[in-house]
Structure 1
């Protein structure tokens, strides 16, 4: 922002300088040339009058010496011709005496009584030559003609000196304006930079250095004051939410546990016909307990500021597949690991394990016996600029799958398909999406090629040499138990609906 303000300021000053200095330089150069030409013309006319007087008095032999004196005094070249245009003397002796110049335009004009001034190119003279030709006499009594030639190098030197002076003045003005503009830009943007730092701190979870409200322009001071009030209010709300999440986890566990124990104590005293109702009540209490714990874990994960780190995706996939193989075997479902090695990816600590656990739990719940669940990793190379490389983890089952409408709503909290037959709370995929986004990735649900669902987790690849950064631990998501009389398995909470 400083650079933009400074460039805009300098651009305006540069335009002003150009608008002032260029016309001034052109006018000065034109006036200097006009003054020089006028002086040369006056000198030529004066010299012609003197030469006419000498010719008229028969002192033509004095003309060479007189012309040389004049040429030395003025730094010019003098050529004097008689009334026929024949050279009488040339101070440089470049034109010999007796040469006829009557055909040259300026001499011809002078012999007819008219003065002439102009410039001509002279290779021996830098910048050309100014000539001034005047008649010696008037009317029909023209006794001689005088041509004076002045090199324009002196005028060119004056013009160059003038342009140099203007350039130095302009650079000095630009330097002074740059210093002043940089100081002003920093003073104007200092509150903006303070707001930027405060915003970065707030995004990390805590505002430790609020922006000053007594510096900068009035608009920025008001903005800083409004931001500080909003940040203070937001931090208060976050602390209140965090305090609720930590306290409610203790306050809600005790009554739910006591309620389950009391229900279980009824079992010896109930008639056999009421046993099914008791089992259903206990199952609902367990489901309520899982839902409460899932909500608290989700709240803690949303409030925590967690930094992603490099995690070996291949190792985590192999570990979770080995752990879930036993549970899958009880349902006669295979868990297969396919695809090439993906290497390390960026993920928050513990998130990758929980993501895979939730997706495998969901897939296992809907997989018919004799089918398989496949975990496959694949690296999608980027285009070298606009699209970065991505590592995709596919968790594919062979269950009934989901419709397009169900896949769009699957990440909503508490949503479950109308034909769901398990006791899920509808928070599994919400937590998976939260953990994936906290890791800098995305998750999508696609239809499997044959049948079932393909859950695709896209994460950023990390270099193999990436170091592990210190970061806050992810809040533990307790594994709720499946309420089933046929199994004692403990699983991670599943997603809403028929699929994760």
Structure 2
């Protein structure tokens, strides 16, 4: 935008300068020619007095003195046909001037100035002065060069001023773009300077700041609502804990209490996560996936499901929080348990490229799987949407296709953790 504004001003100034300097250059050329012709006319008129009053010898000396400069020859054509000067042949212009009077004639090599001296006893004498083209344009080239330099200087000054003005406009716009990128990246504390730039840009900056404040307020309200909703779950969990403690079978009581404790930890994590603003979420994907697979393996053993796992040997950092990744794994494994028969095998793999794959050996594959709120199995259809949002948060993608085991295969690509 900065260079476009400069080019626009340069084009406009060029047109204005051409409209001003070209006529001025032509006018200077005309003035130089008129000046040279005026000097020649003055010489011819002064010589005309000698033609009318002086003797031939004095006239010849005067003509020879004028012809010391050979670039502008002067000749006098007497009524009796005698010629004083370097030109001896009468041109058609000389004969015409003897009949009609004084005038000038344009030639390719210069201009012929003719002055008729009338009232002589023998007739009309004609004084001929030839002004060469170089004298007609004397000083014109220098004047044109000065005009060209003046135009170039004015154009350079105009472009420089336009560039400074463009910077005053572009710099606030770039600042707005940087703030918009920061807001899109989750930095809701960034604000655009509303005191610099044109009034329109300041108005946009003020509106952007109001929008950022509004987004921050809405997100804060949403976090509080999530935290409140999660907190309300503690009452039924307390009832579940009391019921579990009242079971007669200690093994069942311990198992249900363990599940309630895990649910309580999950709720606590949701509350803390909802109220905490994180700059760079990250976790060890290997540890999170392994922990969730261990949790679901207990249920798989009860249902007689073979579980195959393939995880990296060491830590694998990803750009997503442990809570979100755990929710993603729970959603994918929960779909397998909910939509396949007991005893159906499943496999969970996580490779070094941060690709998480959950597949099963179920009866088939639903092509509509993955659409938010769409499910042909009687569920809400939001399980895969949770996994998709987790992948997008980590800068990755989610795909659903047929598994080599026969059922569905869900592939979640997670983004690597970028160092600030």
Q: Please confirm whether the aligned pair reaches a TM-score higher than 0.5, indicating the same fold.
A: yes
Q: 1:245 to 1:32 in 2, by over 3 A?
A: closer
In 1, Cα distance between equivalents of 2:82 and 2:328:
110
The answer (yes or no) to whether the contact 1:37–1:130 under 8 Å persists in 2 is no
Instruction: Tell me the distance in 1 between the aligned counterparts of 2:42 and 2:196.
Output: 74
Instruction: Please state how far the C-alpha of 1:135 moved relative to its aligned partner.
Output: 5.4
* Alpha-carbon shift at residue 42 of structure 1 (Å): 3.1
Aligned partners of 1:167, 1:119: CA distance in 2, in Å? Answer: 34
Correspondence list, 1:321-400, <5 A: 331-335=305-309, 347-350=319-322, 355-356=328-329, 358-360=331-333, 362-363=335-336, 366=340, 369=343, 373=347, 375=349, 394-400=357-363
Q: Distance in 2 between matches of 1:266 and 1:459?
A: 43
Counterpart contact for 1:443–1:456, Cα < 8 Å? yes
3-state SS in 2 of match to 1:440: coil
Q: State whether structure 2 residue 246 is matched by structure 1 residue 265.
A: yes
Distance 1:52 1:231, change over 3 A: closer
| Aligned pairs for 1:382-421 within 5 A | 394-409=357-372, 412=373, 417-418=376-377
When the two chains are superposed, the root-mean-square deviation of aligned CA atoms in Å is 5.5
Q: CA deviation at 1:244?
A: 5.0
Structure 1 CA distance for aligned equivalents of residues 47 and 211 of structure 2? 96
Distance 1:252 1:308, change over 3 A: closer
* Aligned counterpart for 1:165 among listed residues 114, 126, 150: 150
SS in 2 for 1:134: strand
CA contact (8 A) 1:298 1:431 kept: no
Q: 2:64 matched to 1:109?
A: no
Partner of 1:47: 43
For the pair 1:453 / 2:396, whether they are aligned, the reply is: no
Larger RCO of the pair (alpha carbons < 8 Å, separation 6+): 1
C-alpha contact 2:77 2:126 (8 A) present in aligned 1: yes
- Of 366, 372, 387, 1:432 maps to 387
CA displacement 1:172-210 (0-9 Å, x = unmatched): 45545655x368638xx7599479648836963653768
The Cα offsets for residues 96-125 of structure 1, whole Å up to 9 and x where unpaired, read as: x87x6x6xxxx44334327444464xxxxx
Partner of 1:253: 234
Cα separation, partners in 2 of 1:263 and 1:398, compared to 1, 3 Å: closer
Separation in structure 1 between the aligned mates of residue 17 and residue 361 of structure 2, nearest angstrom: 81
In structure 2, the gaps of 5 or more residues are none
Structure 1 residue runs without a partner (length 5+): 91-96, 121-128, 269-277, 380-390, 470-500
SS in 1 for 2:56: coil
Are residues 1:149 and 2:132 paired? yes
Equivalence map 1:15-414=2 (5 Å)? 17-49=13-45, 57-59=55-57, 61-62=60-61, 65-68=64-67, 71=69, 76-78=71-73, 80=75, 89=85, 107-113=91-97, 115-118=103-106, 120=108, 130-134=110-114, 141=124, 145-151=128-134, 152-176=137-161, 179=164, 181=165, 185=169, 193=175, 197=179, 200=182, 204=186, 206-207=188-189, 231-232=212-213, 234-243=215-224, 245-246=226-227, 249=230, 252-253=233-234, 255-262=236-243, 265=246, 293=266, 297=270, 300=273, 304-307=277-280, 331-335=305-309, 347-350=319-322, 355-356=328-329, 358-360=331-333, 362-363=335-336, 366=340, 369=343, 373=347, 375=349, 394-409=357-372, 412=373
Residues 452 and 294 of structure 1, relative CA distance in 2, 3 Å threshold: farther
- Quote the Cα distance in structure 2 between the aligned partners of 1:16 and 1:145: 49
Q: Return the offset for 1:267.
A: 5.2
Using the alignment, how far apart are the partners of 2:48 and 2:189 within structure 1? 98
- Count residues in correspondence: 396
Is residue 361–residue 407 contact of structure 2 (8 Å, CA) maintained in 1?
yes
Which whole-Å deviations, capped at 9, do the CAs of 1:383-408 have from their partners, x for residues lacking one? Answer: xxxxxxxx865544332344333442
Structure with greater helix share of residues: 2
The 2-side partners of 1:183 and 1:416 are apart by 55
Change in 2 beyond 3 A, CA 1:51/1:88? same
Q: CA deviation at 1:12?
A: 6.3
